Amino acid sequence: MRLAVYNGLSCGGCDPVFFLDVLEELGLTSSDIVFWPKVSDRRLRDLESQPPESLDLALVTGAVSTSEQIRLLKVLRSRSLRLVAVGACALWGGVAGLGWLEGSGPEPVPEIVTPDFLLPGCPPEPETFRKGLKQALSAKTSSSNQIVGAEDFPLCEECDRRRRPFRLRNFQRWHTCDPEARQCFLQLGVPCAGPVTRAGCQARCPRAGYPCLGCYGPLPGIEDPGERLLSGLVSALIPAKASQALETLVDPVGSLYRFNLATHPLLRKRKCPDE
């Protein structure tokens, strides 16, 4: 197995999961590491000198924001048989995508090249990583932008918090909740991305006491998860109190598009007006 890993614009948290929690379990420890700056002394020229499609597996774990990163990403694409984009930054721009609110931010990988597989998470849980890469490595036919590792059903199905039908008078901020409360965050009035987000992480954040941030990305068929979540939240408001209640929802764009603002349809329109 000939292998390359490139981080791009990211926190560098995805590839340690690959190195430490995936390599051994997937039997990849005898791989020839052609390029992976974090663990190898090989330089960029070593990657550039590879023949086309000579790498069995290449991972990219970050977004891109400079011409050099775009160039490197294209080199990686052309040299690899399977390119897997890993993590929220690579797939949708990640938290740095919030920079678009200030006028500039990163581009997700699929905007530049077409990865074969997309493996979501911030970072992907080790189980997701292993499952996703097994799928990618065993695929017989070529794919493009196929989500692997995560589930097709909503995160709420993995969440153990108590859920009952509810109506909301207003929204609540997370730090004002009782940390020991075990009810559904939405029932408490705290925005939680669970209903629009893919499962697969075993709802780790809600179980730990933090609302889902949405890092496994939108469910299949949802193009604008923030809008869908907002629509769901608003439908739970008591109609007579709705306008007052909406005043208590702070930073809607930041909380509803935490990892995927860089892929928002309106932003794409602004970037590419002719589309």
Partner 1 sequence: MSRRIVLNPISRIEGEGSLEIVLDTRKGLREVRFHSDLFRGFEIFCKGRPVEEMPALSSRICGICAEAHYLASLRAVEQILGITVPLTMQKIRGLFLLTSLVRDHLTVLYLFAGPDTEDRGGADSLSWLKEQGLWSDFLASRRRLSRMLEILGGRRHLALGGFPGGWLRLPSEKEIEEMVSLVEEEKNFALRTWEFWEARFPKEEGEKFSWPLVALTGGLDGFLGERITVGSPEGQSLRSFRADKYRQHFREEETGPRGLRSTRLKEEGIYLVGPVARFLLWPPPPSLHNLYHRLKQCFKQFPWSLPHLLRVFEVLLALDKMASWLKDLDLKGREDSSHEDLFREEGIGVVEAPRGLLIHHYRVDEKGLLREVNIITPTAQNYKPLISSIQAYLKNKNLNLSKEVLLGLEKLIRTFDPCLPCMLHILSPYGHQRININSKPKTKI
Pick 141 or 176: Cβ nearer partner 1: 176
Calpha distance 61→57 (Å, rounded): 13
Q: Tell me the closest approach of the beta carbon of residue 11 to partner 1, in angstroms.
A: 4
79 vs 224, which CB is nearer to partner 1?
Answer: 79
User: Which lies closer to partner 1 via its Cβ, residue 110 or residue 135?
Assistant: 110
Residue (34 or 147) nearer to partner 1, CB: 34
DSSP letters for 105-117: --B-GGGTS--SE
Count of all residues that appear for the chain in the document: 275
Residue with Cβ nearer partner 1 (99 or 183):
99
Least distance CB 136 / partner 1 (angstroms) = 20
Which of 147, 135, 275 has the alpha carbon at shortest distance from 216?
147
Smaller CB distance to partner 1: residue 68 or 223?
68
CB 79 to partner 1: min, Å: 12
Q: Are 58 and 83 in contact (CB under 8 A)?
A: yes
Cis peptide before 165 (omega within 30 of 0): no
User: For residues 144 and 190, what is the distance between their CA atoms, to the nearest angstrom?
Assistant: 36
Q: How far apart are CA 239 and CA 167, in angstroms?
A: 10
One-letter amino acid at 194 equals G
Pairing of strands 146-147, 117-119: parallel
235 or 268: whose CB is closer to partner 1? 268
Per the CB < 8 A criterion, the answer to whether 211 and 205 are in contact is: yes
Residue 136, CA distances (Å) to 3, 22, 61, 109, 170 in order? 14, 13, 15, 17, 44
C-alpha–C-alpha distance, residues 242 and 260, integer Å: 27
Least distance from partner 1 to the Cβ atom of residue 128, Å: 11
Nearer to partner 1, 114 or 235 (CB): 114
User: Do the Cβ atoms of 63 and 167 come closer than 8 Å?
Assistant: no
Kindly state the DSSP code that residue 118 receives in the 8-state scheme: E
Closest CA to 194 of 177, 176, 219: 219
